[in-house]
Structure 1
């Protein structure tokens, strides 16, 4: 290029440094105040390209990639940092007056080609560095989130340290929280879709403060403030701790994988240890539901408290089942059909016709089975004195998964 072209940049604004500084400041303002330091030597690469046609060296491009990483680490959005670079290139081009005066179209074309090559290469390298840093940040945040959730659900970590670690995730451990677990019908190869679906609906309904969504041992885990869930209920519908569970199940049921989902809702509890307690209740509710072979979509831990009471003294419950129900194994076909009859009979308020409808058998079959139970066990399902003993034994048998499994010794 000619000598007049090489002198053009400094002639535009006195000294070379002052001219580039002015361009950098104006570009920063265009990009919403992005720090000018993120331009690095980019403007000099552009002026070299316009004046001499020199293309950037590998080391210079690596420096631009490092600036992209720095922008991501500083929390500058990708759009703003790219706008900074494009605005700087546009303003620098306008500050080259020799190009406007030049009658040599080939000179202008060569300068434009060189500058655009630098812009294209630098912005692509900047974006690559930015994306790499974002991936590292996401992985680091995901690791911190997983460690935080593991410690919260264990409930045995240092309280002060947990409060400090929970703050960046918007979690106020002084509030009352509840934990909801979602179990797919089979293990998912990829849980990202399910997590994204849950985050979308939960953040939309409850906001993103005090809410965490993650995975643990093949289950989706949601920690949410109980008072926010309560406030989100429809007017006059009564609501319950299971509102969040029903909302989650409705969203997960739309996904192609994992159906049918089963959701368990722990009771709300205050403080750090309340989160661990709610989690244990939800996990125990899922385990109990599997033992009972129930296909209930949303399980409320509150509704299964009776099973926790029954199983708290397992040896006593085993004795009760053994004494009251094992005689039923002498029936033709075993004890299972008789236990099913007792379960439905008690569940419908001891109405034989309704129990028959639920069991898909005749009323005569139900009355025959009840008579066999009375004969074999010595306990009469129609007698108020025997009914409580029989019902407690049936509930215990379901919780122990008897007779499908032998009673614990």
Structure 2
């Protein structure tokens, strides 16, 4: 091709440029580095020039221009073909990654095939994994600054370990082997320091197998939701801290019945049930009347009076060990269902 150019001084034809683009595409698909490809073509140009050019003649100047123009056109065409194949490969890789992520967090995926594909993305699903989830009012996306910063930092620090940093349902998610608990800690620290101010992080428990990742993810998400509903101040919460609440919520109808039966009579007060439920919550949280009084900015006498009112109206005393469990369970349920601000759903 170059010999024909040197013999006539013409530029490369459309077909010749197309063939170079195809050559660039094939090189990319076969894993040839672009640097090696360009070095090969430019080296070939020098060899042909030495064999065919006659230096010192007027024609040589024309041939030099034609030669370098042809080399430039060929290199550009090669790079275009190479880049096209590279972008296609990236899109296919990203599509495959998103498909894998969707299957990883789906209950209907083929477990055998899922385990095979997981190895390609650095996960050994036979091991136990911990899923850590970050959620904020501002959605996390693959291209958002916080997502990219956290992902880059985690990848650099744990380069030799099997981590998966992804976005799922507008949350930022870290999947790490349970043998690397510091990954969850680092992820939480990075998100809370570089992410949105209102960001909250939930840490699931370690679970083994393909479904273990999904289970840990669900726990992490629920721990965030529960922390928000219960008004927890901590930005990082763990699923283990909310196991009792998980149990209480498994039967919402039974919980509603418990609240209505135990705390329902508190509605029969002039101020309504809310102040008395708040007092019970503070008392159970701090363990003493003075502690509850400080939390509520009340006198100890006012707290004692409210606790006595609760006992008189409900028949349950917060200070009686035998009755405390029932009363505290009802108060926890009220916090979870945001009662009495929201009415209970009738059972049956």
Q: How far 1:305 sits from its partner (Å)?
A: 0.4
Q: Indicate whether 1:326 and 2:264 are aligned.
A: yes
Per-residue Cα deviation, 1:191-235 (whole angstroms, up to 9, x for no partner): 443432232232233336532222222222222111122xx4xxx
Q: Identify the residue that residue 284 of structure 1 maps to in structure 2.
A: 222
Q: Identify the residue that residue 251 of structure 2 maps to in structure 1.
A: 313
Contact preservation (8 Å) 1:146, 1:214 = no
In structure 1, list runs of 5 or more residues that go unmatched: 1-43, 233-242
CA 1:193 to 1:57, structure 2 compared with 1: closer, same or farther past 3 Å?
A: farther
Per-residue Cα deviation, 1:321-348 (whole angstroms, up to 9, x for no partner): 1111122233444333332332232122
In structure 2, list runs of 5 or more residues that go unmatched: none
d(CA) in 2 for partners of 1:361 and 1:224?
46
Q: Identify the residue that residue 327 of structure 2 maps to in structure 1.
A: 390
2:35 alignment partner, one of 57, 65, 82: 82
d(CA) in 1 for partners of 2:77 and 2:272?
73
d(CA) in 2 for partners of 1:340 and 1:358?
10
Q: Given the two structures, how large is their TM-score scaled by the length of structure 1?
A: 0.75
Q: Identify the residue that residue 271 of structure 1 maps to in structure 2.
A: 209
2:46 alignment partner, one of 93, 97, 103: 93
d(CA) in 2 for partners of 1:192 and 1:360?
42
CA 1:73 to 1:381, structure 2 compared with 1: closer, same or farther past 3 Å?
A: same
Deviates more, 1:371-380 or 1:53-62: 371-380
Q: How far 1:90 sits from its partner (Å)?
A: 4.2
Q: How far 1:284 sits from its partner (Å)?
A: 2.2
Contact preservation (8 Å) 2:6, 2:52 = no
Q: How far 1:274 sits from its partner (Å)?
A: 1.6
Q: Identify the residue that residue 60 of structure 1 maps to in structure 2.
A: 16
Q: How far 1:373 sits from its partner (Å)?
A: 2.6
Matches within 5 A, 1:109-124: 109-124=61-76
Matches within 5 A, 1:9-408: 44=1, 46-76=2-32, 80-90=33-43, 92-93=45-46, 96-97=49-50, 102-104=55-57, 106-188=58-140, 191-207=143-159, 209-229=161-181, 232=182, 244=184, 246-255=185-194, 258-348=196-286, 350-408=287-345
CA 1:60 to 1:294, structure 2 compared with 1: closer, same or farther past 3 Å?
A: farther
Per-residue Cα deviation, 1:244-299 (whole angstroms, up to 9, x for no partner): 0x42232223446x432111111101111222221222222233223323343112
Contact preservation (8 Å) 1:285, 1:300 = yes
Q: How far 1:152 sits from its partner (Å)?
A: 2.0
Per-residue Cα deviation, 1:44-94 (whole angstroms, up to 9, x for no partner): 3x4444443221222322222233333333334xxx323432453145325
Contact preservation (8 Å) 2:192, 2:235 = no
Contact preservation (8 Å) 1:185, 1:259 = no
- Paired residue total: 346
Contact preservation (8 Å) 1:341, 1:355 = yes
CA 1:71 to 1:98, structure 2 compared with 1: closer, same or farther past 3 Å?
A: closer
Q: How far 1:95 sits from its partner (Å)?
A: 5.2
**Matched position secondary structure for 1:96:** helix
d(CA) in 1 for partners of 2:15 and 2:47?
28
Contact preservation (8 Å) 2:53, 2:63 = no
Q: How far 1:393 sits from its partner (Å)?
A: 0.9
CA 1:310 to 1:91, structure 2 compared with 1: closer, same or farther past 3 Å?
A: same
d(CA) in 1 for partners of 2:9 and 2:311?
101
**Matched position secondary structure for 2:224:** helix
d(CA) in 1 for partners of 2:211 and 2:142?
30
**Cα RMSD over matched residues?**
2.7
d(CA) in 2 for partners of 1:115 and 1:347?
84
